[in-house]
Structure 1
Amino acid sequence: MNERDLVFIGGGHTHALVLRMLAMKPIANVRLTLISDTRLTPYSGMLPGFISGHYTKAQTHIDLNKLAQAGNIRFIHGRVTGLDLQHKLIHLNNHPDIEYDKVSINVGSRPNLTVPGSNAVVQLRL
């Protein structure tokens, strides 16, 4: 039985690294949960290589579902709509509320596709 629920909201770089480390060295009686509205999260450090054609989309993205499976981490593919800090609940769109003892939020970078030409480059490479 788990005594603690540690929930990670978002698949940013730090969360991906911490979850990988916790998968290799689990903490007893702690259930890990990752909530993300995407299954793949981009690694922004590889963006220049992606744009220039040196890397594929698969090489420049972290597969959050695969990471969760490898580490026995509960993965919820959904969008967080709110936090109830008093009752320690995370509200999700189309999913029951999630209870937590500790929560971390790290959604990662979000590209600004309103910059002229940025969407065209992304679309060409995808």
Structure 2
Amino acid sequence: MAKQALKHDIFQAIADPTRRRLLTLLANEEMSIASIAGCFPITRTAVNKHLHVLLDAGLVSSKKLGRETRYKLQPEPLLEIKQWLAFFESYWDKKLFALKEFVESDSDKGF
């Protein structure tokens, strides 16, 4: 069975600082929208819109408990970001190694 196409990609979803804060908040516990909204200086409607972007990207899940909807982090899609960043780690490792060698070679010359 094919996975349903997500409406937002992960990179687009985490581009917004409010959504990144939401992910951090939900990393520790499942929360209701009322609890989440109390942690932000924006309206509950705005929080709900951000949560729907995260839902569409597969970064959070929701479940109804009575009249309340609870949200929970789904960290698995974040692996795509980790893999993308890992590609650039070797670039930075090479650059930092070159800088280290440059600094050490200058210190050998008495600079």
Q: TM-score, normalising length from structure 1? A: 0.23
Higher relative contact order (CA closer than 8 Å, sequence separation 6+)? 1
Structure with higher Rg: it is 2
**Hey, which of these two has a bigger chunk of strand by percent?**
1
**Hey, which of these two has a bigger chunk of helix by percent?**
2
Q: TM-score, normalising length from structure 2? A: 0.24
